[in-house]
Amino acid sequence: MFPSEIEAIERATLLAVSPQAQAELPGWLLPFDPGTVGRARSAFPLAHTAPASTALREIEAVYARRGFPVMLRIPVLAPFDAFRSSLLDQGYREEILTEVCTSTPLPMLAVSDAQPCELQTAPHAGWASVFLGEGFDPIDGASRVDKLGQAAGSVFATVWDDGRPVAAGAAAFSYGWASVHGMRTASDSRRRGLAGRVLVTLARAALARGYDKVFLQVAAENAAAKSLYRRAGFERAWAYSYWRKPAPSASSPSEASRPTWRYDGCQSEKVQA
């Protein structure tokens, strides 16, 4: 991807999750938020180039002044090898691998031939209830409802079944990109194509607003969601992982547990040494 596209996606991502506050260092955005949404509280680079040798120290100083713990999300790309190694050396540990995927609205429309679902320009109790249902962490769900609901200009899709909200999602629009967030389906309503209806509805909203590029982010281990997104035309642009220091009481992993990395262009694979 062009550097301008990478920066646009990263800035759009942060707008969509509306952190409580944010700061900027050269080449980095630093959001601050007390909630559970990692993207709203982790520092991240705006370009896929090797960070300056002073970057980590400067980031830590800003978070210390704000009274927030340091959390970072770092692309799984070769230019960040040395930076990741320095994170390990200073006690940070890798937690979650996430893929950034891009598509266009037209292939998204093909994932479902059912009627589009309800679309609103503000979140409502029914939409929010999907995040708080059985099988979802209620604290994390409430935090995601709060963060997504505060984003200016977003839209909120809800699938209803016999008067009950059973699937939900949201889309934000900024920096030339539409972005999909918060895709959720009630645990007893899965494998019915409801997420596809949400995607179709959000794709129509993107087209109606003149957006012809869409991105989303999905946990690398979420096979079911990735299968749907592939059918919607989404392809991985890059992957990133979260880094933070474990609680002081946690024991440090041995040198043998350090992750090593293998690359194939923009595709990457983590391999345990």
Q: Residues 176-198: pLDDT tens digits?
A: 999 999 999 999 999 999 999 99
CATH topology for 3-99+239-272?
Answer: Aminopeptidase (3.40.630)
Residue 96 scores a pLDDT above 50: yes
Question: Given this model, what pLDDT does residue 247 score?
Answer: 75
Residue 254 scores a pLDDT above 50: no
Look up the pTM and report it.
0.89
Residue 153 scores a pLDDT above 70: yes
Structure tokens at 165: 């909200």
Least reliable range by pLDDT among 108-122, 158-172, 234-248, 255-269 = 255-269
Q: What is each CA distance from 13 to 16, 45, 204, 216, 224, in whole angstroms?
A: 5, 12, 20, 9, 23
Question: Given this model, what pLDDT does residue 249 score?
Answer: 61
Laid out side by side, the sheet with 44-45 consists of 21-25, 28-32, 44-45
Average pLDDT in the chain: 91
Q: Is 176 left (phi over 0), alpha (psi -120 to 50) or beta?
A: left
The distance in angstroms from the start CA to the end CA of the chain is: 30
- The CATH classification number of 103-236 equals 3.40.630.30
Average pLDDT rounded to a whole number, residues 46-67 = 97
Element (H or E) spanning 208, and its range?
A: helix 194-208
> Would you list the domain boundaries of the chain?
3-99+239-272, 103-236
- Rounded to whole angstroms, how far apart are CA atoms 207 and 194? 20
| The two domains 3-99+239-272 and 103-236 share their CATH topology (first three levels equal) | yes
Residue 210 scores a pLDDT above 90: yes
